[in-house]
């Protein structure tokens, strides 16, 4: 059962992949769901409000946040790429969001961080949210910035934040790496619900991952959030093994938890001896 503890909830990035998956689900968490994106959101449905806004536009974000009780921040750049779009969407944008939250008195934010904050740990390691950041690229760096910024806004202004280091959230896992990183859409909603309703959230970093037998991330230190995943990638394992090749253990995308993202953007060269 989902308990409504907020009247108006803001969902940023509502036109994106995860925003679309959450649009109907999050209506159970509030009386009014305000949807925000710079892209097309369609017509507002029952119990919905629509606010078209670019995260890099401080005034537009100020107006979008006004009147909201909590924020589920899924907006921004979601891929590795050139720095300028990442800067505007994930660095300037997250600052604008937190500053608007401070000015309007919003006291809880659910921030979509990423497992790519720690993507350069190896796949034969199990890490916790307390491990130092090792970003796969500029995208991971921008999410690490968001985690640090949200920490400062908690310490200075009391805005509680859950930083969700989301693994691979899709309808089902599509490759062998996702046997460890998969987060179902329903478990994503369960995680957000837990973070919205736990009595004391503080500043918490938690990995967003379903109940997969293979896992690189240990969430045992954040049990105060109350997230209990119900889904698992295990039922997809046999099919994935049958239709994919065995991994090449010399391949950096197999060695590191970040997978193909360690080669995205400007390719890494450490595996070539610096050449």
Q: Mind telling me the catalytic residues?
A: 139
H helix and E strand count, the chain? 9, 7
Which stretches of the chain are DSSP H helices? 17-25, 58-65, 83-86, 93-104, 138-157, 178-181, 185-197, 237-243, 252-255
DSSP 3-state of 4:
coil
Asked whether the beta carbons of 188 and 240 are under 8 A apart, the reply is no
Asked whether the beta carbons of 87 and 73 are under 8 A apart, the reply is no
Cβ neighbours of residue 87 closer than 8 Å, sequence gap 6 or more: 142
Asked whether the beta carbons of 56 and 88 are under 8 A apart, the reply is yes
Residue environment code for 193-223, b if the CB has 16+ CB neighbours within 10 A, otherwise e: bbbbbbeebebbbbbbbbebeebbbebeebe
Nearest CA to 192 out of 101, 83, 71 is that of: 71
Neighbours of 260 (CB within 10 A): 15
């Amino acid at each position: 059962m989902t308990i409504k503890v907020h009247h108006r909830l803001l969902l940023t990035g509502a036109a994106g992949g995860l925003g679309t998956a959450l649009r109907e689900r999050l209506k159970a968490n509030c009386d009014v769901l305000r949807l925000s994106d710079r892209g097309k959101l369609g017509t507002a449905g029952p119990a919905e409000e629509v606010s078209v806004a670019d995260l890099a536009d401080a005034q537009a974000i100020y107006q979008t946040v006004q009147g909201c009780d909590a924020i589920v921040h899924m907006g921004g750049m979601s891929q590795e790429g050139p720095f300028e779009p990442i800067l505007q969407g994930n660095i300037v944008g997250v600052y604008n969001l937190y500053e608007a939250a401070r000015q309007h008195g919003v006291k809880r934010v659910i921030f979509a961080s990423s497992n790519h904050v720690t993507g350069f740990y190896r796949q034969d390691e199990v890490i916790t949210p307390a491990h130092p950041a090792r970003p796969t690229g500029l995208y991971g760096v921008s999410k690490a910035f968001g985690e640090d910024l949200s920490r400062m806004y908690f310490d200075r202004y009391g805005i509680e934040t859950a930083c969700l280091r989301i693994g691979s959230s899709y309808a089902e896992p599509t490759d062998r790496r996702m046997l460890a990183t998969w987060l179902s859409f329903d478990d994503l909603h369960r995680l957000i619900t837990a973070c919205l309703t736990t009595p004391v959230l503080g500043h918490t970093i938690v990995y967003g991952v379903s109940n997969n037998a293979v896992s690189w991330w240990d969430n045992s230190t954040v049990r105060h959030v109350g997230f209990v995943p119900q889904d698992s990638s295990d039922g997809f394992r046999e099919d994935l093994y049958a239709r994919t090749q065995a991994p090449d253990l010399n391949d950096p995308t197999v060695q590191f938890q970040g997978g193909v993202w360690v080669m995205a953007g400007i390719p890494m060269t450490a595996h070539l001896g610096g050449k």
